Structure 1
Amino acid sequence: MIRFLFRFTGFWLLAGGFVALIVDGTRSIAAAGLVFTSTGDAWFALSPGSLEKAEASGRAGMPEIWSHAILPLLSLPAFVLLVVLGVAFMSIGRVRERSRFEVS
């Protein structure tokens, strides 16, 4: 059951990454240059209040982690982060093949 949840979540993250890539590609064609939506911009567009709360709690609680780990992740293109997380979840939830030489 847990493997299914990891695969299901990974599938939707991959789908979201693909949609973000299509949106960025469409915007790039319209702008006649490369245009990427950062993860922070996408998060702000979806839920500005939660981003502000996360930023306030991150700066208050762990400012070093916020500035050295979270901010670089928020500056990545959204499709890159979604695809990497999707692949990670899919690999965690994969069904391992048994070797034909393995003794049961």
Structure 2
Amino acid sequence: MWFFRLLGWLLLFACLAVLVGDGVTALQTGTLRFVAGGELWYRLDPGSLNLLQALVERYLSSWLWDKVFVPGLLLPAFLLLLVPGVLLSFLGRPKKRAKFF
């Protein structure tokens, strides 16, 4: 369970880093725009995103890529990091021991 908690905290830290980056960009441009998850992934490693698209379209379904993956990648990146980060941190929390006295 400690692994889930650690992974959750890493995702929350990455979420905070993305939000800070969005804030800095907003200060520079004067407009607030949240970076999309797919855009962030493309900035970090475009080859893996293209590979995922090719694998999903070839071996699963092009419908699945168009109707599930693309809308998911268009969500703000901080949300894509925040939700699993909170869930993993919650699942990995230490259990409270029952006190008999």
TM over 0.5: yes
Runs of 4+ in structure 1 off by over 6 angstroms are none
Question: 1:67 aligns to what?
Answer: 66
Figure out how many residues of one structure are paired with residues of the other and give that number.
99
CA RMSD of aligned residues (A): 1.5
Residue 8 of structure 1 aligns with an amino acid whose one-letter code is L
- 1:63 deviates by 2.3
- 1:9 deviates by 0.4
Question: 2:12 aligns to what?
Answer: 14
TM-score by length of 1: 0.86
TM-score by length of 2: 0.88
- 1:98 deviates by 4.2
Structure 2 alignment gaps of length 5 or more? none
- 1:96 deviates by 2.7
- Written as runs of structure 1 = structure 2, the 5 A alignment for 1:82-101 is 82-98=81-97
Which range is displaced more, 87-96 or 47-56? Answer: 87-96
Cα-to-partner distance string for 1:30-64 (whole Å, 9 max, x where unaligned): 11111211110111111111000001111222223
